[in-house]
Amino acid sequence: MEYFKTCRGIPVYISDTKQGDKTVVLLHGYLETNEVWADFKELLKPHVRVIAIDLPGNGLSGTNPNENSMEFIADVVADVLNHSKIDKATIVGHSMGGYVALAFAEKYPEPTEKLCLFHSTPNPDTEEKKQNRNREIALINEGKLELILQINIANMFADENLQRMEDVIVMITENAMISEPEGIVACLRGMKNRKNMNVFLSGFDKPLLWIFGKNDKYIPETVAAGLIEKFPHAKTLILNKSGHAGFLEEPEISSQTLIDFIKNG
């Protein structure tokens, strides 16, 4: 079932399978929409209720005009869960969606049953990354969004997967073009200004799952290894044949690991 709901003053596009004793909420990454989860949702559907939304500033959802902070997007997710009468859910965030998932878990601990960070980290932007965000904002304001899509979306995938992911890259790119440029800029500002969540995650006492890609161009192996060492209580899946999009590159092992995590912790 797909529908719109006004949350925090903006229209939000929601996909909800409506079936299942347990609920998982899928939060997509930068330059994506909830459609990026389409095939992955089919693998989860027989086991859990699946909710996915176009995050503010993306796809068919509205946006804050200036900044989609991670906390504001978390508020939107909370409204979606309240509307759907869901008391508890496993929150899964891919990349930017992971930043939102962390903000949600901090601000709304009660409905956060478990947390899965899919190619994401609790680290804030480095100064270099902030400058890259500023450059992307400038390019978008100059009408050069397609250039950003061409570079960033291909970089989501391990080099060995680029050829077989060609259709997926086209799909993500076409869906990204639906988003209003001001919404993407607002998300860039939100990511650039997000806070360091390492202290919060150190005190997080609920089940936590990391999923990393061995060939991730955005999260190097050294960074992933550091996080695994820092948070030894977390479960970890390393996808040896994936870059930054394991749910697309290695969907079977990713989905089975997530289903087991949701059911068994």
The verdict on pTM exceeding 0.85 is yes
How far apart are the C-alpha atoms of 159 and 145, rounded to whole Å? Answer: 23
- Cα distances from 217 to residues 18, 156, 184, 202, 212, in angstroms, run 35, 7, 21, 25, 11
The reply to whether CATH 3.30.70.1350 applies to domain 2-264 is no
Q: Where are the domains of the chain?
A: 2-264
Residue pLDDT tens, the chain, 265 long = 999 999 999 999 999 999 999 999 999 999 999 999 999 999 999 999 999 999 999 999 999 999 999 999 999 999 999 999 999 999 999 999 999 999 999 999 999 999 999 999 999 999 999 999 999 999 999 999 999 999 999 999 999 999 999 999 999 999 999 999 999 999 999 999 999 999 999 999 999 999 999 999 999 999 999 999 999 999 999 999 999 999 999 999 999 999 999 998 7
C-alpha span between 130 and 212 (Å, rounded):
23
Q: Write the burial class of residue 140 (CB in 10 Å: 0-12 exposed, 13-18 middle, 19+ buried).
A: middle
DSSP string over 223-261: HHHHHHHH-TTSEEEEETT-SS-HHHHSHHHHHHHHHHH
Tokens 């050069």 locate to 144
